[in-house]
Amino acid sequence: MKIRRPRGRIWRFLCTPSPYEGLVAALGVVTGTVASISQYQNQHPRLGLALAISAAAVLPLSLARTFFNWRAQARKETLHDLAGCLHTLLAVLTFAAQAVYEAEHYEDEDAPPFNDPRIRITVLVPINDGQDLEQVLDYVGDPRGGKTAGRVFPAQSGISGRTFRERAPWRATRLESEYTSYVQELVKRWGYTEKDARARDQESRSWMAVPLVDESTRTVQAIVYLDAVSPNLFFGNLIADLVLHACAGIALYADLRYD
């Protein structure tokens, strides 16, 4: 299983055989055209016509082959399908959270209405020989944070870092409500520097991270990270079990899709 880090379109294109196959095809067309003209000049019109037809056919066929090869490679590189898995998980977790809330307050007529826990989910992969974790997708779900794909985090801090180092799922809830106390919580409990702690999202109140482990090498290939504004969300057995089972499916899918 190897979830690839996203790269630019031009770089991805140059890293495939497609541009070089296209160049060879173009040279073949030029060679065929020159040969066709030479045969016409040497009074061999039929041979010249045959060469001209062959040269004319080579270019569109080669371009078609280049295009379809590129599309096949692009489908293997894209992370859109992985994002689709996360969207499905998001929908299931939000529905489950509402079902749990309604079951707990079934007889409480004064209970406030269910509030969306504003879950968001993403995937991180280890880089720099495991020293850092890179977020390869924008968050799926709640839009807080904006465009976040490409951010890099030290593997020595945070719940994702602990999950990566210990190769085991972790879940946590925020202990402190005040901003200053919360920053210190991140520093003391989760190994952040104060600068990095202040840069973290201040609305999240519960987190969960699950490693996707390559069973053949026992290495963490990726981490599914989730957070929400509702405290203790991932400490409910139903929610946690849904996440763990879904991540097992995502790992299998990634193994089939990206290898």
Q: Say if CB 89 and CB 243 are below 8 A apart.
A: yes
Going by their DSSP bridges, the two strands 120-127 and 132-135 should be labelled as antiparallel
Residue 110's pLDDT is what? 81
DSSP per-residue string spanning 98-146: HHHHHHHTTT-TTPPPP-----EEEEEEEETTTTEEEE-SPPEE--TT-
Band of the pLDDT at 162, cuts 50, 70, 90?
Answer: very high
Band of the pLDDT at 6, cuts 50, 70, 90?
Answer: low
Distance, CA of 105 to CA of 108 (rounded, Å): 5
Band of the pLDDT at 199, cuts 50, 70, 90?
Answer: confident
Look-up of token digits 């996203």: 6
Residue 8's pLDDT is what? 53
137 pLDDT more than 80? yes
For 80-258, CATH gives: 3.30.450.40
Residue 229's pLDDT is what? 94
Lowest mean pLDDT among 45-54, 162-171, 197-206: 45-54
Q: Is 160 exposed, middle or buried (0-12, 13-18, 19+ CB in 10 A)?
A: buried
CB within 8 Å of 61: residues ≥ 6 apart: none
Hey, what are 144's tokens? 């807080």
What's the whole-number mean pLDDT along residues 102-125? Answer: 90
- At residue 165's C-alpha, the angle toward residues 117 and 81, to 5°, is 50
pLDDT tens-place string over residues 70-110: 555 555 555 678 888 999 999 999 999 999 989 888 888 88
Band of the pLDDT at 255, cuts 50, 70, 90?
Answer: confident
Region of residue 209 (left: phi > 0; alpha: psi -120 to 50; beta: else): beta
Residue 207 bridge partners (DSSP): 172, 227
Hey, what are 242's tokens? 């849904």
Phi, psi dihedral angles at 198 (to 5 degrees): -70, -20
33 pLDDT more than 70? no
CB within 8 Å of 68: residues ≥ 6 apart: none
pLDDT tens-place string over residues 219-241: 999 999 999 999 999 998 899 99
